[in-house]
Structure 1
Amino acid sequence: MTTQIQTLLLSILLLPTISSSMSIISPGSTLYASNTNQTWSSPNNTFSLGFIPLNPPTSPPTFLAAIVFSGGIPIWSAGTIPVDSAAYLQLHPTEGNLRLVNGSGHTVWNSSTTNLGVSSASLDDYGNLAVMRNGTFPVWSSFEHPIDTVVPWQQFSTSHVLRNGLYSFRLLSDGTVNLQWDDSTAYWSRGTSSSSNNRTLTSPTLELQSTGILSVLDPTLTSRGAIIAYSNDYNQGSDILRFLRLDGDGNLRMYGSARGSGVQTVIWVAVEDQCRVFGYCGNMGICSYSGKNPICRCPSQNFELVDPKDSRKGCKRKVETQDCPGNLTMLTMEHTLFLTFPPQSIFAVEGSEVFFVAISSCRMSCLISPTCDASTILSDGMGMCYYKKPGFISGYSNPALPSTSYFKVCSPAVPNASPSMRSDGWRMHSWAVALVVIGTVLGLIALEVSLWWWCCRSSPKFGGLSAKYALLEYASCAPVQFSYKELRHLTKGFEEKLGTGGIGAVYRGILADKTVVAVKRLNGIEEGERQFRMAVSTISCTHHLNLVRLIGFCCERSHRLLVYEFMQNRSLDNCLFQTDHPGRLLNWESRFKIALGTARGITYLHDECPDCIVHCDIKPENILLDENFSAKVSDFGLAKLKTLKDRTDYLAPEWLQENLPMTSKSDVYSYGMVLLEIVSGKRHMEVSAETNWKMLSGWAYEEFEKGNVMGIVDRRLAQTQAQQGVDVEQVMRAIQVSFWCIQEPPSQRPRMGEVVRMLEGITEIHRPPHPKGRPSTLC
């Protein structure tokens, strides 16, 4: 109520300014759905109120009474129920009520302003429709009663809500904005830093600026407020309306539309992965992608669509579990995740739906539990199994997801047919199959002969084939298998050593086509041929700008070698800690570029490659630099070939204390230590007078608490006058991110994707607590 009074008072204060930019609607004025050309327009015709046909069209046609931006883009409607062609919208001449009446005479919507002394209504050039008392005082306005859209100049407070079907968008009292399904499941949120600095907001409001900045405002925050999002066309072009809308698919998007164009373009989206919108495919529906488009399907042939004409309405079992003629079983779905959000919690005292169990237990425990319909295990090493109770289940399937899910069905479980085997009327005849097979075989033979001739034409000896680097294997990006004799020849008997790591030394080699490579000779894994070949297979499936590319390998008797692309500037530790080459000192721009590139490479390993790869040995020695000082992560995919003694310097504390399973959060910890080293130029294990004889992380956090952020930066940058190029904002982001990454409890560490967004400045960084959980030393 207080917020509404404040808004009304603000309207009165602004009235002298905006009165000239509003059109007056007199009592008795009426709009008819049968005449869509009739409208009430704002003075400069930017906005108009009238009837628009429902989109997509219906038969018979139905309409909404809506305010539209020039060109026909709707920003508000009088309710959400369509009306027929005999409907009308009228400012009642005696009641003072703005009401929408259907052809049957039923009032579908009204402004509830009866007996409030209404004298007129108005539509201004900002898109606000107001019902006025005495021609000056607004007693109702469309800005105070949003439907699914927010426009610039519209103050969106905690008392407001956007709705579209089962989806809603809210601003909470702590400054957090979130998207909810059925007013119960919050599947996306973005907040201010008020909770991290113990600041209590008094009256937060959400504001969308005309330039495309979405921010939370409050008297306790800075004048700029807490920025939630930027549009990708920030402040570009003129006469463009940028507006926020909650769409029917449950996603919140910011759109831009040029005046009069009628075209709307997405310029920001809250949930980038549409399949992660809870309930997008309905109950028991599984969301996946066909190209870039999300599609909905049922978990298996044990299910059927609720509405065959609309797959988004979900699925149902063909036979309910309580009616099974035989035994119950669990349908196994690889690379599938059942979306799980609070209140599901491992911290719930009673009724917890999350358990730490093995994969087999996640399946079997749900099977025998009468209160479990399905379960999901994330397969990230944490051993967290989520039970899905009878109710609403929302699924997501993607080949890149490491999760495995199980659904309780009547035996037998019948998986969905592969696309090529679906009975859609198309069948491949046997003669066509034979033709394709024969043609493929002949084509491969011709290709092999051509490649053989190309490789051997300049050499009379068949030994020319030893240059497998140029053969089909390399052309198809598959790793080339070298013989040990070949690699010994390419490295001149392993003459020039580039460096030594935990499980082997690296040597310089030159291939037949004069390409320089780095050959890693592994030690102590003679008995692990199967594991070694599996590691090679895993590494060869990765392709990212910030990962070192594997060219080939050797697995011959006791010899295990890997052939990588050569990095001209060696490893990060050579440039970061070597003091005998001051000319090689990395400036701040290069350091931040390396930090960001490394984070992107690890993010790919964790979340984007076909199988989640936990590195387990992230350190400066395993971050290589090319000729442009771009970072490339190396030695990934080798975790199972290493022993614990091979990787101790940068291990997360949970490894050393409890020897828990490998998780991506362990990599986050190691990255945080490396990031702090990049900023400071100091080894995290070394102590000196400069750090008051303390470990780097503890000393750095003390300086951070004192506000001496630049004191953490490598002193050599200042000594070489390079500090003039140090971006203080980037330094602050990097230091805070490093502290979040090295938090002792793994649950408090961010995922690497969040780390990238924080470093880029996309995500706001809350003030990090002490890495070891100690209270602040400052008042």
Structure 2
Amino acid sequence: MLYDRTKDVYLSWDEPYCRRCEVEGRKCRLKKNNSTTEDETECYGPSKKERKKERDRPKQLMATGIILGSCLLGIILFALYRVHHSYKAEKEGQLKIENFLEDYKALKPSRYSYVDIKRITDQFKDKLGEGAYGTVFKGRLSNDVLVAVKVLNNFRATAEEFINEVGSMCRIHHVNVTRLIGFCADGNKRALVYEYMPNESLEKFIFVARDKDRFLSWEKLQDIAIGIAKGIEYLHEGCDQQILHFDIKPHNILLDHNFNPKISDFGLAKLCSKEQSAVSMTAARGTMGYIAPEVLSRNFGKVSYKSDVYSFGMLLLEMVGGRKNIDSTVESTSQVYFPEWMYNCLDRGEELGIRIENEGHAKIARKLTIVGLWCIQWYPVDRPSMKAVLHMLEGEVDSLIVPPNPFGHADGAQTNANIPRRPINRELEVISELE
């Protein structure tokens, strides 16, 4: 309390009650705009909790910054990795494309004009052969590479067959498949340019008198059979898409200077997915005598890669016998259908009546015959795959079992669509193990 002597005035005040504010760590003051006569106090300023929170804020911000920085760094590192990985993958992809284009450049069939075809064949001077769908001429490219030029017959060879041939062979690169060098599609003039095969077709060597000058040795016949099997297996399993040839026969097997076989003529071929178990066909295709039963009638089963297996089996039997599978010129009527006669000989343990010089040759002939008979089983499901066929051809004949009779239900199946399929014999377990 203060006393003012000049005015005789006394001043007095009460100390405000601020303990509550002090406990909270805040300051105290008189409440403003107080409507009552009594002095009231109020607390102001941040509390301890708020001040502590304020003091801790930089630490929290730092921790948050560290977390955000770590996340950002992780994102940046991941982004850099992805960019690097993407760049690396892109470079690898570009390299693959460059390699592919380089290979494709060497293998890609060239397109020739009809004028080029006449120049290459020297105005169709040297005729090599003639078939139902065209004539083959010997030719020479500008770099002195010999070629075989097949000029298609416009009345027999359709546009679909031309497309099949070019489309199929553009996908193929195998030592046992003929290489397509180029083609001509000049108006209605169409031609195919192949690598030249100096020994022409297999037909030339198996359907002739077996004299010393023309007859291929049994070892060479076995090598040719294995080469053809490798080529067909590649078509069925080695390409991006499965290629079904549908015209495997001696005339379409060409021989190079070392008598290595090469499959040719893909005019009837069909491309399908490897997962596709059957193919649809509007009409039968192939050459009579080599066409699988199911291609002629679906009563025997679905058309698939097994149809090529059947054709290959017929080819094998013709290689062994040196004659067409149907031969009306023979004296004995039992030998007209040669495959059935061969099966009966094996079944009875009789000789095949083929010129055999030693036991080794006899084993090769027996092996090719047994494998051929497995391939021509009447129903597709009973035939082995080409992989199994190749395994048998490269193995020993003693491990092979004579197959069931392929001709047991042939006639009945043709006349009765509801005939049940012959049960698979126990011997087929040997084949299934190879697949």
Q: Deviations over 1:323-372 (max 9, x none)?
A: xxxxxxxxxxxxxxxxxxxxxxxxxxxxxxxxxxxxxxxxxxxxxxxxxx
**CA distance in 2 between partners of 1:555 and 1:541 (Å):** 19
Q: Does residue 511 of structure 1 match 2:102?
A: no
Q: Does residue 704 of structure 1 match 2:346?
A: yes
CA contact under 8 A between 1:499 and 1:507: conserved in structure 2?
yes
Secondary structure, counterpart of 1:476 in structure 2 = helix
CA contact under 8 A between 2:219 and 2:364: conserved in structure 1?
no
Find the counterpart in structure 2 of residue 552 from structure 1: 182
**CA distance in 1 between partners of 2:341 and 2:164 (Å):** 42
- Report the CA distance shift for 1:657/1:531 in structure 2 as closer, same or farther (over 3 A): closer
**CA distance in 2 between partners of 1:499 and 1:528 (Å):** 20
**CA distance in 2 between partners of 1:645 and 1:531 (Å):** 11
CA contact under 8 A between 1:502 and 1:647: conserved in structure 2?
no
> 1:713 offset after TM fit, Å?
5.8
| Aligned residue runs from structure 1 range 364-375, under 5 A | none
Find the counterpart in structure 2 of residue 501 from structure 1: 131
Find the counterpart in structure 1 of residue 293 from structure 2: 653
| Aligned residue runs from structure 1 range 578-593, under 5 A | 578-579=208-209, 583-593=213-223
Q: Does residue 426 of structure 1 match 2:66?
A: no
**CA distance in 1 between partners of 2:215 and 2:309 (Å):** 26
Aligned AA (1:663): S
Q: How many residues align?
A: 313
With normalisation by structure 1, the TM-score equals: 0.37
> 1:530 offset after TM fit, Å?
7.1
Find the counterpart in structure 2 of residue 619 from structure 1: 249
Find the counterpart in structure 2 of residue 677 from structure 1: 318
- Report the CA distance shift for 1:495/1:527 in structure 2 as closer, same or farther (over 3 A): closer
Q: RMSD in angstroms over aligned alpha carbons?
A: 3.6
- Report the CA distance shift for 1:753/1:637 in structure 2 as closer, same or farther (over 3 A): farther
**CA distance in 1 between partners of 2:294 and 2:177 (Å):** 27
**CA distance in 1 between partners of 2:159 and 2:103 (Å):** 20
- Report the CA distance shift for 1:478/1:579 in structure 2 as closer, same or farther (over 3 A): same
CA contact under 8 A between 1:526 and 1:558: conserved in structure 2?
no
**CA distance in 2 between partners of 1:656 and 1:429 (Å):** 54
> 1:595 offset after TM fit, Å?
1.0
Q: Does residue 569 of structure 1 match 2:204?
A: no
CA contact under 8 A between 1:539 and 1:637: conserved in structure 2?
no
- Report the CA distance shift for 1:601/1:579 in structure 2 as closer, same or farther (over 3 A): same
Aligned AA (2:207): F
- Report the CA distance shift for 1:473/1:501 in structure 2 as closer, same or farther (over 3 A): farther
CA contact under 8 A between 1:613 and 1:636: conserved in structure 2?
no
- Report the CA distance shift for 1:509/1:474 in structure 2 as closer, same or farther (over 3 A): farther
- Report the CA distance shift for 1:589/1:699 in structure 2 as closer, same or farther (over 3 A): same
CA contact under 8 A between 2:327 and 2:338: conserved in structure 1?
yes
**CA distance in 2 between partners of 1:750 and 1:520 (Å):** 34
Q: Deviations over 1:515-570 (max 9, x none)?
A: 11111122247996577446423212211111111111112211221111111111
Within the candidate set 628, 631, 635, 2:261 is matched to 631
CA contact under 8 A between 1:736 and 1:768: conserved in structure 2?
yes
> 1:656 offset after TM fit, Å?
2.0
- Report the CA distance shift for 1:572/1:714 in structure 2 as closer, same or farther (over 3 A): farther
Aligned AA (1:600): K
Q: Deviations over 1:608-633 (max 9, x none)?
A: 11211111001000011111111111
Q: Deviations over 1:549-603 (max 9, x none)?
A: 1111112211221111111111011111123975111111111111111111111
CA contact under 8 A between 1:623 and 1:632: conserved in structure 2?
yes
- Report the CA distance shift for 1:683/1:473 in structure 2 as closer, same or farther (over 3 A): same
| Higher Cα radius of gyration | 2
> 1:648 offset after TM fit, Å?
2.2
Q: Does residue 724 of structure 1 match 2:365?
A: no
- Report the CA distance shift for 1:690/1:567 in structure 2 as closer, same or farther (over 3 A): farther
**CA distance in 1 between partners of 2:156 and 2:247 (Å):** 21
Find the counterpart in structure 2 of residue 686 from structure 1: 327
**CA distance in 1 between partners of 2:268 and 2:289 (Å):** 17
> 1:644 offset after TM fit, Å?
4.4
> 1:734 offset after TM fit, Å?
1.4
**CA distance in 2 between partners of 1:648 and 1:771 (Å):** 18
| Aligned residue runs from structure 1 range 367-516, under 5 A | 425-427=81-83, 475-516=105-146
Find the counterpart in structure 2 of residue 756 from structure 1: 390
Find the counterpart in structure 2 of residue 739 from structure 1: 373
> 1:729 offset after TM fit, Å?
2.7
- Identical counterparts, % of pairs: 39
Secondary structure, counterpart of 1:613 in structure 2 = strand
- Report the CA distance shift for 1:552/1:638 in structure 2 as closer, same or farther (over 3 A): farther
Find the counterpart in structure 2 of residue 595 from structure 1: 225
| Aligned residue runs from structure 1 range 172-187, under 5 A | none
**CA distance in 2 between partners of 1:695 and 1:761 (Å):** 28
Q: Does residue 667 of structure 1 match 2:323?
A: no
> 1:661 offset after TM fit, Å?
6.2
| Aligned residue runs from structure 1 range 341-360, under 5 A | none
With normalisation by structure 2, the TM-score equals: 0.64
Larger strand proportion of the pair: 1
CA contact under 8 A between 2:342 and 2:352: conserved in structure 1?
yes
Q: Deviations over 1:179-237 (max 9, x none)?
A: xxxxxxxxxxxxxxxxxxxxxxxxxxxxxxxxxxxxxxxxxxxxxxxxxxxxxxxxxxx
Secondary structure, counterpart of 2:147 in structure 1 = strand
Larger helix proportion of the pair: 2
- Report the CA distance shift for 1:505/1:725 in structure 2 as closer, same or farther (over 3 A): farther
- Report the CA distance shift for 1:646/1:607 in structure 2 as closer, same or farther (over 3 A): closer
**CA distance in 1 between partners of 2:378 and 2:192 (Å):** 34
Secondary structure, counterpart of 1:543 in structure 2 = coil
**CA distance in 2 between partners of 1:626 and 1:747 (Å):** 34
> 1:510 offset after TM fit, Å?
0.8
Find the counterpart in structure 2 of residue 714 from structure 1: 354
Unaligned runs of 5+ in 1: 1-421, 445-470
Aligned AA (1:766): I
Q: Deviations over 1:133-171 (max 9, x none)?
A: xxxxxxxxxxxxxxxxxxxxxxxxxxxxxxxxxxxxxxx
- Report the CA distance shift for 1:595/1:427 in structure 2 as closer, same or farther (over 3 A): same
Secondary structure, counterpart of 2:244 in structure 1 = coil
Secondary structure, counterpart of 1:561 in structure 2 = strand
CA contact under 8 A between 2:377 and 2:383: conserved in structure 1?
yes
Secondary structure, counterpart of 2:169 in structure 1 = helix
Q: Does residue 772 of structure 1 match 2:392?
A: no
CA contact under 8 A between 1:518 and 1:566: conserved in structure 2?
yes
| Aligned residue runs from structure 1 range 19-418, under 5 A | none
Secondary structure, counterpart of 1:629 in structure 2 = coil
**CA distance in 2 between partners of 1:499 and 1:478 (Å):** 26
CA contact under 8 A between 2:253 and 2:262: conserved in structure 1?
yes
